C-alpha cells in the first residue's frame, strides 16, 4: 500500500497530464497502435502507427522507432517497477529479439528448437495457454554461425509468423496454437539458416536468410500471408533480374549506376554465387512511399583478396517496392568490405527538419562506427559521423557516397592488419536502437571493441564455414567496452552516454512516452534511464546477460507492463556458453579475446521477465 | 582473378603435399560406410579385459601434428570450432568435455561419420591418414607439443595512444556517467 503514496504525492503535479495520456491510450487501444505522439518535438512525424498497447511486430512499428507513447510508467514512478511474472523455457542460449503482445496474449519464440509459447495476460503471473513445437532439423544447429538464436515474430492475419533455424517459415494460429502453414525458404546443406524476425506488409511476409560466414548467397523471400506460398525472391547478388533491378531503379550515386548486372560483374567469375550479402536483421516499411528498407550482410569470404571488385550488393541498403520487391534505390555503404561490417542494422524512418528543411529520413546506426542519415526517398547520404572510435575510414564523401578509407587499415591475405576499430562485431551489432519523437534522440546500444585481421586461404565446402580470415578482438581504448549512446539526430552528435566497463551493450532499446529508455546489459542489469538526461532511474538484476529487445504493452487490466528476455548468447555472448573455452582468443570467429570476462559475469539463462507498477 | 588462382593453387598443393606425404595403401576414402573401428558395443561377458581399441599411427609425430594443424584450417574445421579450436559454431575441442569420447578411435569416428547436431561426415572427403593427423593435432591441444598454439594479441596491455573519440563525451552530464 505505501507504494501508492509517492504516486499520490505526484498526482497533483502530473495527474492531469497522466490522465490525458491514459485516456488517449484507451481510446486508441482497439488496435493497439497510434499515429498520435503526445509531446513530440515540433515537426517530428512518425511514418506509421506506433505500438500503443499491443506489440505486434518485431520493432513495434514499421518505422522501427521502438517507441511507445504509453506513459503510465514514467520518470516519476519507475522506481516502483517490480517483477510481475517470469517464465523459463529451459533453453540456455541467446535470447535475442523480444516477445509479441496481441490482445490479452503474450507470445514468446525460443532459441532453437524455436518453440512458441502463448501466455495469458488476463491470469495472475501470466500463465501458459499453449505451446507449439515445430521440431526443426537438429542439424541446423551446426550451421548457425553465432549461437542458435531467433530474433522474433510478427502477428498478421490471425497468425504468429516466424522463421525456424532450419529455413522454414511457420504461421501458427494465434488463438489455438495450431500450425496454419509451413514453407521452406532455404537449405541447411548450403549453410543457410533463418534467424531474423519476418515482417508482414499487406499480404506479404518478408524473410531473409543468414549464413554470411558459410558462403550463403543472400536473399529476401516474399511469401503470401494466407498460404505461405513464395511470391518472389530478391537476391542480394547475381543478375539484375535476380536482384529485381528493373526500369524503376534510380540510385542516387553514380557508383551504383555502372551498367547491367553489377551483382555479377563486380565479382571474380562465379564468386557471387557464394558471396554472402545475407539479410538477417530488421526490415522497415514506409506506407506512404510503399517502400521497404533493409541492409545486406558482409561479402564472403572474409579474405578480401579472394574477391576483387565492389562485391555488389553486399553491405548495401536497399529500398524496394513493398508489393513487387523491385529495387527503387540501392546504396552500397561498404564497397568491397574488408572488415566484415554487415550493415543489416535497423533503419529508423522518421520525417523531421534537417538543416532547415523537412526531410524523409532513414537513420542507420552502422556496424562500421558511422551514424548514417539518408534521405529515404532518394537514397542520398546526408551525413555520416562516428559514434564510437572508428579508424578504418576518416569519413564519407557526401558527393559520391563513398567512404574515405585509411590505407593501413585495409586487410589482406597473409598479414595481420592491426588495431582496426571497430572490430567485425561493429560499433554496434544487429541489436536495435530506439528513437523518441519527444527527445529527437536515437538511443544506440554500442560497443568499443577493436581487432587484428588477416585474410587466410579457404576452400568452399558446401555447408561448412567459408571464412578465410584469422581475427582476434580486444577491448578498445578508453576504459569501457559498452555504451548506451544518446545521439541527437538534428545536431549530429552524442549528447550523453552510459558506459559499461567490461562488456558491450548487446541488448535492444525501447523508449516510451513516459520519457524512459529501457535496455539491458550483458551482465544482466535491466535499466530505465531518463530519456532526456540519461540518469539511471531504476535497475533490476536478472540472472543472465540481456541480449534481447524490451517491449511494452497494456494488459487486459489497463496497466502498462515492460518485458525483456534474460539469456545471454549470440555472437559476442557465445563466450558465456559452456561450448566455448577462453584459452583461444581466435574462437567464436575471433570474439573470445574481447569477451573473456563474461564467463564470470553472466551464466547462460532462459528467462522472460515482465515488470509492472 | 590472379590472386584467387594463386591461392587455389597454393591450397591444392598443400593438400596434395599432405596427402602424398604419408604413403598409405588405402589412401583415398574411409567413406560413410562402417566405422574405422570394429569395437564391441559394450563390455564383453566373461571378464574379457583386453579390448584393443585402434590407436593413432601418427600420435606425437611432429610432422603429423603440423599437417593436422594445417588441415584443421584447410577443411574449415577452424571456422566452426574456432581458430585454435576454442569453439564457436561447434563445441570447443580444447576443454575437458568430449561429447562422443576422446579415445583416438572415437575422435576418428566423429570426424569420419559426423554427428547429429551438424558435424558433417568427412569420411568421403578426407583421406584416412589425414583424419588421423587431425586426431593427432586435436589431442595435442593444450600440451607442449601443440603446433602453432594460440597466443594472446599484445594489444590489450598497450598504453592508450592518441586514438580517442570526439569530444562529445565531455558534454555528458555526470549523472549519466555514474556506473
Tens digits of residue pLDDT in A231-271: 999 999 999 999 999 999 999 999 999 999 999 999 999 99
Model pLDDT, residue A36: 86
pLDDT band, very low/low/confident/very high, at B94 (cuts 50, 70, 90): very high
Report which of A298, A520, A300, A329 is spatially closest to residue A423, judged by C-alpha positions: A298
| Residues in chain B closer than 8 A to A481 (CB atoms) | none
- Does the pLDDT value for residue B115 go beyond 80? yes
Residue A259, judged by CB atoms within 10 A of its CB (0-12, 13-18, 19+), counts as exposed
Over residues A156-197, the pLDDT tens digits come to 999 999 999 999 999 999 999 999 999 999 999 999 999 999
% pLDDT > 90, chain A: 94
Which residue in A89, A213, A342, A452 is the catalytic one?
Answer: A213
Out of 3.30.1310.10, 1.20.1240.10, 3.30.70.260, 1.10.760.10, select the CATH number for domain B52-148. Answer: 1.10.760.10
B87 with A534: Cβ contact below 8 A: no
> A417-420 and A434-436 as β-strands: parallel, antiparallel, unpaired?
unpaired
B89 with A143: Cβ contact below 8 A: yes
| Residues in chain B closer than 8 A to A496 (CB atoms) | 171-173, 176
Q: Which residue of A has its CA nearest to B159?
A: A477
Phi-psi region of A16 (alpha: psi -120 to 50; beta: other; left: phi over 0): alpha
- Does the pLDDT value for residue A6 go beyond 50? no
A465 with B74: Cβ contact below 8 A: no
- Does the pLDDT value for residue A35 go beyond 60? yes
Model pLDDT, residue A284: 98
Which residue in A74, A114, A298, A448 is the catalytic one?
Answer: A298
Model pLDDT, residue B37: 60
Cα separation values, A336 from A40, A308, B28, Å: 40, 7, 39
Over residues A419-446, the pLDDT tens digits come to 999 999 999 999 999 999 999 999 999 9
- DSSP symbols for A265-326: HTSSTTGGGG-B----S--EEETTTTEEEEE---BSSS-GGGS-S--TTSSEEEEEETTT--
Non-local CB neighbours of A389 within 8 Å, separated by 6+ positions: A369, A421, A422, A427, A448, A450, A476, A477, A478, B163, B164, B165
B83 with A584: Cβ contact below 8 A: yes
B3 with A388: Cβ contact below 8 A: no
Identify whether the C-beta of residue A440 lies closer than 8 Å to the C-beta of residue A352. Answer: yes
A146 with B89: Cβ contact below 8 A: yes
The domains of chain A, with CATH numbers, are 4-612 (2.140.10.10)
Model pLDDT, residue B47: 75
Model pLDDT, residue A576: 96
B89 with A421: Cβ contact below 8 A: no
- Does the pLDDT value for residue A474 go beyond 90? yes
B172 with A497: Cβ contact below 8 A: yes
- DSSP symbols for A386-404: ESS---SEEEEETTTTEEE
Higher pLDDT pick, B19 / A216: A216
Selected residues 196-225 of chain A with any CB under 8 Å from a CB in chain B:
213-214
Q: Which residue of A has its CA nearest to B174?
A: A535
Identify whether the C-beta of residue A549 lies closer than 8 Å to the C-beta of residue A526. Answer: no
Model pLDDT, residue B5: 40
Model pLDDT, residue B152: 79
- Does the pLDDT value for residue A13 go beyond 50? no
Identify whether the C-beta of residue A19 lies closer than 8 Å to the C-beta of residue A10. Answer: no
- Does the pLDDT value for residue B178 go beyond 60? no
Cα separation, A305 vs B4, in Å, equals 7
- Give the nearest partner residue to B119 out of A142, A495, A529, using CB atoms: A142
| Residues in chain B closer than 8 A to A139 (CB atoms) | 116-118
pLDDT band, very low/low/confident/very high, at A10 (cuts 50, 70, 90): very low
User: What is chain B's mean pLDDT, rounded?
Assistant: 73
A139 with B116: Cβ contact below 8 A: yes
Report which of A234, A255, A256, A252 is spatially closest to residue A244, judged by C-alpha positions: A234
Which residue in A89, A310, A340, A429 is the catalytic one?
Answer: A340
The pTM of this model reads: 0.90
A570 touches chain B (CB under 8 A): no
- Go through chain B and tell me how many residues it has: 179
User: What is chain A's mean pLDDT, rounded?
Assistant: 94
Cα separation, A27 vs A19, in Å, equals 12
- Does the pLDDT value for residue B10 go beyond 80? no
> Once rounded to an integer, what is the mean pLDDT over residues A350-367?
97
- Does the pLDDT value for residue B163 go beyond 90? no
Non-local CB neighbours of A5 within 8 Å, separated by 6+ positions: none
Chain B interface test: which of A498, A579, A597, A599 (most B C-beta within 10 Å): A579
Model pLDDT, residue A34: 86
A588 with B163: Cβ contact below 8 A: no
Helix B2-21 to helix B62-74 angle (10° resolution) is: 140
Count other C-beta atoms under 10 Å from residue A266's C-beta: 24
Cα separation, A406 vs A390, in Å, equals 11
> Once rounded to an integer, what is the mean pLDDT over residues B24-29?
34
**Residue A340 annotated to the active site:** yes
The whole-angstrom distance between A288's CA and the closest CA on chain B is 36
A586 with B87: Cβ contact below 8 A: no
- Does the pLDDT value for residue B40 go beyond 80? no
Q: Which residue of B has its CA nearest to A592?
A: B86
B163 touches chain A (CB under 8 A): yes
The whole-angstrom distance between B25's CA and the closest CA on chain A is 26
Cα separation, A182 vs A452, in Å, equals 43
Over residues A83-137, the pLDDT tens digits come to 999 999 999 999 999 999 999 999 999 999 999 999 999 999 999 999 999 999 9
- Give the nearest partner residue to B76 out of A450, A458, A580, using CB atoms: A458
Chain A interface test: which of B168, B170, B174, B178 (most A C-beta within 10 Å): B168
Q: Cell numbers at residue B36, please?
A: 574405422
% pLDDT > 70, chain B: 61
B148 touches chain A (CB under 8 A): no
A461 with B75: Cβ contact below 8 A: yes
B1 with A389: Cβ contact below 8 A: no
The whole-angstrom distance between A175's CA and the closest CA on chain B is 33
**Residue A298 annotated to the active site:** yes
- Give the nearest partner residue to B117 out of A138, A385, A391, using CB atoms: A138
Model pLDDT, residue B151: 86
Model pLDDT, residue B175: 44
Model pLDDT, residue A568: 98
Q: B5-25 burial string, b = 16+ CB within 10 Å, else e?
A: eebeeeeeebbeebbeebeee
**Residue A343 annotated to the active site:** no
Count other C-beta atoms under 10 Å from residue B53's C-beta: 11
Q: Which residue of A has its CA nearest to B76?
A: A465
- DSSP symbols for B74-98: HTTHHHHH-TTS--SSS--SSSS--
Cα separation, A209 vs A280, in Å, equals 6
Cα separation values, B25 from A190, A257, B20, B127, Å: 33, 58, 11, 11
- Domain locations in chain B as residue ranges: 52-148
Cα B90 to the center of its chain, rounded Å: 10
| Residues in chain B closer than 8 A to A456 (CB atoms) | 73
B32 touches chain A (CB under 8 A): no
A477 touches chain B (CB under 8 A): yes
- Does the pLDDT value for residue A203 go beyond 80? yes
A579 touches chain B (CB under 8 A): yes
Amino acid at each position: 500500500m505505501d507504494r501508492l503514496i509517492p504516486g499520490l504525492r505526484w498526482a497533483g503535479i502530473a495527474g492531469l497530464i497522466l490522465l490525458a495520456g491514459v485516456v488517449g491510450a484507451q481510446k486508441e487501444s482497439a488496435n493497439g497502435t497510434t499515429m498520435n505522439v503526445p509531446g513530440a518535438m515540433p515537426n517530428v512525424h512518425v511514418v506509421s502507427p506506433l505500438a500503443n498497447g499491443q506489440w505486434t511486430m518485431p520493432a513495434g512499428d514499421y518505422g522501427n522507432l521502438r517507441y511507445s507513447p504509453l506513459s503510465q510508467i514514467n520518470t516519476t514512478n519507475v522506481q516502483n517497477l517490480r517483477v510481475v511474472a517470469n517464465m523459463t523455457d529451459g533453453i540456455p542460449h541467446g535470447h535475442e529479439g523480444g516477445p509479441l503482445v496481441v490482445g490479452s496474449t503474450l507470445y514468446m519464440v525460443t532459441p532453437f528448437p524455436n518453440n512458441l509459447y502463448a501466455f495469458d495476460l488476463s491470469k495472475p503471473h501470466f500463465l501458459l495457454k499453449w505451446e507449439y513445437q515445430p521440431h526443426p532439423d537438429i542439424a541446423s544447429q551446426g550451421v548457425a554461425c553465432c549461437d542458435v538464436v531467433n530474433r522474433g515474430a510478427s502477428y498478421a492475419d490471425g497468425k504468429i509468423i516466424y522463421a525456424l533455424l532450419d529455413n522454414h517459415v511457420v504461421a501458427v494460429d494465434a488463438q489455438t496454437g495450431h500450425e496454419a502453414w509451413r514453407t521452406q525458404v532455404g537449405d541447411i546443406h548450403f549453410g543457410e539458416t533463418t534467424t531474423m524476425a519476418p515482417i508482414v506488409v499487406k499480404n506479404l511476409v518478408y524473410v531473409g536468410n543468414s549464413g554470411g560466414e558459410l558462403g550463403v548467397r543472400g536473399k529476401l523471400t516474399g511469401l503470401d500471408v494466407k498460404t505461405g506460398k513464395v511470391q518472389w525472391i530478391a537476391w542480394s547478388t547475381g543478375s539484375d533480374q535476380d536482384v529485381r533491378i528493373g526500369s524503376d531503379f534510380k540510385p542516387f550515386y553514380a557508383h551504383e549506376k555502372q551498367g547491367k548486372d553489377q551483382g555479377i560483374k563486380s565479382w571474380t567469375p562465379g564468386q557471387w554465387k557464394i558471396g554472402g550479402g545475407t539479410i538477417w536483421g530488421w526490415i522497415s516499411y514506409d506506407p506512404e512511399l510503399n517502400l521497404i528498407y533493409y541492409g545486406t550482410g558482409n561479402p564472403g569470404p572474409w579474405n578480401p583478396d579472394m574477391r576483387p571488385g565492389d562485391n555488389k550488393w553486399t553491405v548495401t541498403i536497399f529500398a524496394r517496392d513493398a508489393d513487387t520487391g523491385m529495387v527503387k534505390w540501392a546504396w552500397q555503404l561498404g564497397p568491397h568490405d574488408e572488415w566484415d561490417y554487415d550493415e543489416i542494422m535497423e533503419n529508423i524512418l522518421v520525417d523531421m527538419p534537417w538543416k532547415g528543411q523537412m526531410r524523409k529520413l532513414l537513420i542507420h546506426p552502422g556496424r562500421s562506427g558511422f551514424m548514417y542519415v539518408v534521405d529515404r526517398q532518394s537514397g542520398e547520404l546526408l551525413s555520416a559521423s562516428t559514434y564510437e572510435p572508428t579508424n578504418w575510414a576518416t569519413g564519407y564523401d557526401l558527393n559520391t557516397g563513398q567512404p574515405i578509407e585509411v590505407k593501413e587499415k585495409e586487410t589482406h591475405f597473409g598479414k595481420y592488419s592491426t588495431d582496426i576499430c571497430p572490430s567485425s562485431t561493429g560499433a554496434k551489432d544487429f541489436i536495435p536502437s530506439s528513437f523518441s519523437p519527444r527527445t529527437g534522440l536515437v538511443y544506440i546500444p554500442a560497443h568499443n571493441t577493436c581487432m587484428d585481421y588477416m585474410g587466410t586461404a579457404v576452400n568452399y565446402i558446401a555447408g561448412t564455414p567459408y571464412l578465410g580470415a584469422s581475427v582476434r578482438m580486444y577491448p578498445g581504448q578508453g576504459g569501457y567496452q559498452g555504451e548506451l549512446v544518446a545521439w541527437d539526430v538534428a545536431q549530429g552528435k552524442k549528447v550523453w552516454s552510459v558506459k559499461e566497463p567490461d562488456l558491450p551493450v548487446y541488448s535492444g532499446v525501447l523508449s516510451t512516452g513516459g520519457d524512459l529508455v529501457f535496455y539491458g546489459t550483458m551482465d544482466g542489469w535491466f535499466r530505465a534511464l531518463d530519456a532526456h538526461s540519461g540518469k539511471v532511474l531504476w535497475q533490476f538484476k536478472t540472472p543472465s546477460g540481456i541480449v534481447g529487445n524490451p517491449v511494452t504493452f497494456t494488459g487486459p487490466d489497463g496497466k502498462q507492463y515492460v518485458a525483456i528476455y534474460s539469456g545471454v548468447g549470440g555472437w559476442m555472448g557465445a563466450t558465456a556458453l559452456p561450448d566455448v573455452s577462453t584459452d583461444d582468443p581466435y574462437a567464436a570467429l575471433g570474439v573470445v579475446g574481447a569477451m573473456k570476462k563474461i564467463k564470470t559475469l553472466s551464466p547462460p539463462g532462459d528467462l522472460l521477465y515482465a515488470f509492472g507498477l | 582473378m590472379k590472386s584467387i588462382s594463386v591461392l587455389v593453387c597454393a591450397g591444392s598443393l598443400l593438400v596434395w603435399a599432405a596427402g602424398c606425404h604419408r604413403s598409405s595403401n588405402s589412401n583415398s576414402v574411409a567413406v560413410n560406410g562402417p566405422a574405422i573401428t570394429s569395437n564391441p558395443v559394450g563390455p564383453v561377458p566373461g571378464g574379457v579385459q583386453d579390448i584393443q581399441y585402434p590407436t593413432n599411427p601418427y600420435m606425437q609425430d611432429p610432422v603429423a601434428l603440423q599437417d593436422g594443424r594445417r588441415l584443421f584450417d584447410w577443411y574449415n574445421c577452424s571456422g566452426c570450432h574456432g581458430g585454435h579450436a576454442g569453439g564457436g559454431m561447434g563445441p570447443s575441442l580444447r576443454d575437458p568435455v568430449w561429447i562422443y569420447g576422446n579415445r583416438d578411435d572415437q575422435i576418428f569416428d566423429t570426424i569420419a561419420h559426423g554427428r547429429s547436431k551438424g558435424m558433417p561426415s568427412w569420411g568421403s572427403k578426407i583421406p584416412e591418414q589425414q583424419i588421423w593427423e587431425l586426431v593427432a593435432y586435436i589431442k595435442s591441444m593444450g600440451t607442449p607439443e601443440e603446433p602453432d598454439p594460440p597466443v594472446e594479441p599484445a594489444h590489450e596491455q598497450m598504453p592508450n595512444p592518441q586514438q580517442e573519440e570526439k569530444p562529445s563525451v565531455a558534454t555528458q552530464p555526470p549523472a549519466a556517467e555514474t556506473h
